[in-house]
Structure 1
Amino acid sequence: MRIDLLDNLISDVSGRFGLTNDKARQLVGVLIALIFDEKRGGFAGFVRLFEQKGLGRLIQSWVGTGPNESISAAQVDHIFGAPLIGAIAGKLGAPVSATAGAIGGLLPNLINELTEGGKEPTGIPETLKSWVAGIADWLGDLGRFGWGALAAGAAAVGGAVAGGARAVGHAADATVDAAAYAARKTGNGLGKILPWLLLGALLIAAFLLFKGCKKDEAAVAASGTDSSVSTTAPIAAPAAQANPRFSFENVDGKATVSGQVASDAEKTKLLDAIKATFGADNVNGDISVDATTAPAGWMDKLIALLPDLKARGVKLGFDGDKIAIDTSALPEAERFALSQKLRSGFGGFEISGLWDKAMAALSSLKAGFSADDLIKALNLSGINFDTGSATITRDSYETLSKAAEAIKAAPAGTRIEVGGHTDNTGDAAANLQLSLDRANAVTAKLVELGVPGEQLVGKGYGQDKPIADNASEEGKAQNRRMEFTVLK
């Protein structure tokens, strides 16, 4: 991989997302470690992850020789998870939104360069190993989010970097292997320096063990070192980070709050915003601080939503990347409006308690409802997808769960077509395929939720059956839809 191209990419991303070049370079190191994480199957496993998330076509555009499709910040959250993105942002000292955006800016070209000629790499290129080794000291923390033993992987990568001082500085593997090699060579003139090599090996190995890296000590034992020389034991890996939590209830116009965040700065930022919205005398409760808590990736979005929480009786709770809302005390129109704002602001989060026209209609179906009643309710559903993909956004899960309950209670023999439609942006053939992929994604989710597969048929219509004018953004939004039909 050409380093000059990577440097140009870093400069571009730094300028677009307000990162320094050093932070963008660190971010590249993180991405390389994630892409080649052996616990997830290396590069091939990274590609599979995209496929499992419904973004296989997206990553294949980067691997192939054609144009690279862009990836949105919401799609980045969907792939890696909001907690991991928040942790990376915390390590970089950068806003979560900028971090997600920068990852989206880096990934397409990084994957494209790693797969020159469409060939998938089997391991990290030699020219990039030092990039991962350079952030080995904090990769272990990211390993808590299900991405393998990243710290150990970074140490192993660093051990392969040529250059004595750099290799010693970044990798216990290289040092241990060197000590074992020297022990085998004591008869060839290296016996005089062996004690110094062994001492260096032990010191560096102890340092990396302290960082949480678990290493194979067989090579050290084979070197003949007396076990009494070092009594250093591996330090247990730190416990997984707790979810940032926050609960809010508007009781007679006063905000009652509780929760847990990672720092005093986060606590102050959130409480100051709540007091500014409701008045300091109208805020009850407190938020605790625990350094083992992951950064609150929802913080800025929540602060922007605070003016909409002034309606009496609103309840809202965050637990990591899950949100629960209770608007049952509000008039129906206000419930619809607040739910829509929540979906728009937190599309990458799993949201429960949303109330829209579809949920109201599905909840109102009486025992013995007809297939036509069911279809009318289903066609009020707003099922959202990541831009340009067939990945259903997590804010749509509750709607689909309610839809599955209703379909399972439909009259015997009811069969339903799930039709996918797009606007007219882009290539017609690609839109036809995308509409089919989305329809199949919805049917697959409904089957996962217990609907018999023989009741559902997915079909793609592309851009050929608009219900609104594609000349406006509002019209395009209406044309991007799922349409349910009873099959006779």
Structure 2
Amino acid sequence: MSSIETLVTEVARATGLGPNARKFIGVVIEYIFKQPGGLAGLADRFSAAGLGDIFTSWLSGQPNMRSVDAGQIRSALGGQSIEDIASKAGVSPSVAPTLLATALPPIIRAVTSGGVMPTALPAAFTGLLSAKGKKTSPYRSWRWLLPLLALLALAWCGWHSRNVAKAPPVAAPSANVAAVSKEPTLSFKNTDGKVTLNGTLGTVADKAKLLGDAVAAYGQDHVSADIKVDTGVKQHSWLKSVSVLFPALRQSGLQFALNGDSLKLDTSKLPEPERVAVSQLFQKELGNLEVEGLFDKGAAALGALPPGFSSEDLTQALNQTTITFETGSAVITRSSESILDGAAKAIQAAPAGLRVEVEGHTDNQGNAETNQKLSEERARSVVAALEARNVPADRLLARGFGANRPVGDNSTEEGRAANRRIAYRAL
């Protein structure tokens, strides 16, 4: 595959433009070399916008291409240039900055192949420009074809009358031709404040939003990304949640990987207080996912219970666990399942005759009667989940206390969060 076709394939995949990528690249290249100063003039426009270092990173021979977002593209090129490019390429002006943010870096790298910044369009790229043929009279263009078309029509009619019965039957479409959707992926790694993002998302807009939020949280110089776009990838709700989490994920050594409905979290290089805090953040914002690697002090304490542990040992460990629910409901989040697994195993191994009261508690926000009902429903949900894990029903009791037994200050968000809890008491 030639370098030109490689560029077209790369841009088509990254932008989601598909076959229209060739036209888009041609319009962009034409814009670059027709503006005052050509490619050097474009570099000057980026420098004037404070983006000179980013532009330089796109040149052939530079080790790492830095990402750019739609806002920076608007700042460097200006609204009129973007509108002109959008009009000629046949794309919406609203999405053009995002497309340019994705396509411009590989285009610049391709035209500077060999480490040289050309003063004119390299000959190899002229085939990408739109051909502009000479205008001719429509009548003159078709006049000579009319007699030939008439003869061909007569000939076809004769052939059709002789051979129509021999036409092969049309095959029925296969029942198994539906396209298989792929899962979105994203990996994150923070190394001494430098964030690396890799993965595949379904749209250019998703990619632009993710990179824009990452740059806003960490700074342009601290983000390195390789995010591909594949229109066959499903949309997923976790994208918004990850952007919300970015400002809080500043711990060096933190890593996580998302793949569809599953999350693998690695906090092993963090101090224990940070491991707890980060795990609780993920459990809160991405509780609808199957999570591997949450660090829960209670789960660790349950796993470390010695043989012959007492009822006090058990409840002390259980009361360090964190069970979360979908907002305003008694539906336990998927991220809490592994914690429930450990709790069930420990209760099964508890001394004979021990019963455990599962208590639901809320903060004081909203109606007291509603809070009471919610606390009871959440306690029953936990009991049902433990019974489903083979804990005998006669060893469990569910009770709800609403907002009547706070452990934190309900005037602060931190205190209210502490009050929204599941607690345990030995009977």
**TM-score scaled by length of structure 2:** 0.53
Alignment of 1:262-301 (within 5 A): 262-271=202-211, 273-274=213-214, 286-301=226-241
Q: Residues 467 and 298 (structure 1 numbering): CA distance in 2 closer, same or farther, change over 3 Å?
A: closer
Once the two structures are TM-superposed, the CA of residue 397 in structure 1 deviates from its matched residue by 2.3
Structure 1 residues 274 and 390: alpha-carbon distance in aligned structure 2, compared to 1, 3 A threshold: closer
The structural deviation recorded for 1:473 is 5.1
The structure 2 residue matched to 1:414, chosen from 354, 375, 398, is 354
Question: Is 1:355 the equivalent of 2:295?
Answer: yes
| SS of match in other structure, 1:286 | strand
**Residue 284 of structure 1: CA displacement?**
5.9
Residue type of the alignment partner of 2:342: K
Partner of 2:173: 234
Q: Which letter maps to 1:233?
A: A
How far apart are 1:461 and its partner, in Å? 3.1
Whether 2:190 is the aligned partner of 1:244: answer: no
Query: Residue 340 of structure 2: SS of its match in structure 1?
Result: helix
Matched, 1:336 2:276: yes
**Change in CA separation of 1:280 and 1:396 when aligned onto 2, cut-off 3 Å:** same
1:446 is matched with which residue? Answer: 386
Q: Deviation at 1:244?
A: 0.5
User: Does residue 245 of structure 2 align to residue 305 of structure 1?
Assistant: yes
- Counterpart of 1:351, as a letter, is V
Q: How does 1:74-473 map to 2 (within 5 A)?
A: 231=170, 233-234=172-173, 236-251=176-191, 253-271=193-211, 273-274=213-214, 286-425=226-365, 428-468=368-408, 470=410
CA RMSD of aligned residues (A): 3.3
CA distance in structure 2 between the aligned counterparts of 1:460 and 1:308, rounded to whole angstroms: 33
Alpha-carbon contact 1:375-1:485 (below 8 Å) kept: yes
Kindly state the Cα deviation for residue 307 of structure 1 after the two structures are TM-superposed. 3.9
Question: Which stretch of the first structure deviates more once superposed, 304-313 or 367-376?
Answer: 304-313
Mapped contact 1:262–1:292 kept (Cα < 8 A): yes
Deviation per residue, 1:89-126 (Å, 9 max, x gap): xxxxxxxxxxxxxxxxxxxxxxxxxxxxxxxxxxxxxx
- Tell me if structure 1 keeps the 8 A contact 2:284–2:324: no
**Cα offset, 1:484, TM superposition:** 0.7
Residue identity matched to 2:309: F
Partner of 1:484: 424
Distance in 1, Cα, partners of 2:219 & 2:413: 38
Distance 2:328 2:291 in 1: 22
5+ unaligned residues in a row in structure 2: which ranges? 1-164
Shift of 1:292: 1.2
Q: Could you tell me how far apart the structure 1 residues matched to 2:413 and 2:212 are?
A: 36
Give the distance between the partners of 2:234 and 2:327, measured in 1 at CA.
27
2-side partners of 1:466 and 1:310: how far apart? 31
* CA–CA separation in structure 2 for the residues paired with 1:276 and 1:464: 42
Q: CA deviation at 1:330?
A: 0.5
Deviation of the 1:317 alpha carbon:
0.9
Per-residue deviation, 1:441: 0.5
State the match for 2:158 in structure 1: none
Q: 1:378 Cα deviation (Å)?
A: 1.1
Unaligned segments of structure 1, at least 5 residues: 1-225
Deviation of 1:390 (Å): 1.4
- How far, CA to CA, are the matches of 2:316 and 2:378 in structure 1? 20
Counterpart of 1:287 in 2: which secondary structure? strand
- Comparing 338-347 with 273-282, greater Cα deviation is found at 273-282
Deviation at 1:257, TM superposition (A): 3.8
Alignment: residue pair count? 262
- Once the 2 structures are TM-superposed, how far is the Cα of residue 418 of structure 1 from its aligned partner? 0.8
Q: 1:420 to 1:285 in 2, by over 3 A?
A: closer
1:169-199 CA deviation, whole Å, 9 max, x = no partner? xxxxxxxxxxxxxxxxxxxxxxxxxxxxxxx
- For residues 263-314 of structure 1, the C-alpha deviation after alignment (integer angstroms, 9 at most, x for no partner) is 3443344345546656667666733332211124322332333344342221
Shift in CA distance, 306/429, structure 1 to aligned 2, threshold 3 Å: closer
Paired residues of 1:419 and 1:484 also in contact (CA < 8 A)? yes
| TM-score (ref. length: structure 1) | 0.47
- Once the 2 structures are TM-superposed, how far is the Cα of residue 326 of structure 1 from its aligned partner? 0.8
User: CA offset at residue 250 of structure 1?
Assistant: 3.0
Q: What amino acid is the match of 2:170?
A: T
Distance of 1:367 and 1:404 partners within structure 2: 16
Whole-Å separation in 2 of the counterparts to 1:480 and 1:355: 19
CA contact 1:261–1:296 (8 Å) conserved in 2 = no
Query: What is the distance in 2 between the residues matched to 1:240 and 1:350?
Result: 22
Q: Which amino acid aligns with 1:381?
A: T
Distance 1:279 1:483 in 2: 41
CA distance in 1, matches of 2:296, 2:200: 30
User: In 2 relative to 1, CA 384–278 (structure 1 residues): closer, same or farther, beyond 3 Å?
Assistant: closer
Code of the residue aligned with 1:401 in structure 2: it is D
Q: What CA distance in whole angstroms lies between the structure 2 residues aligned with 1:473 and 1:273?
A: 25
Q: Is the alpha carbon distance of 1:437 and 1:277 closer, same or farther for their aligned partners in structure 2, counting shifts above 3 Å?
A: closer
Give the partner amino acid of 2:173: P
> Which amino acid letter does the alignment assign opposite residue 307 of structure 2?
A
CA distance 1:466–1:304, shift in 2 (3 Å): closer
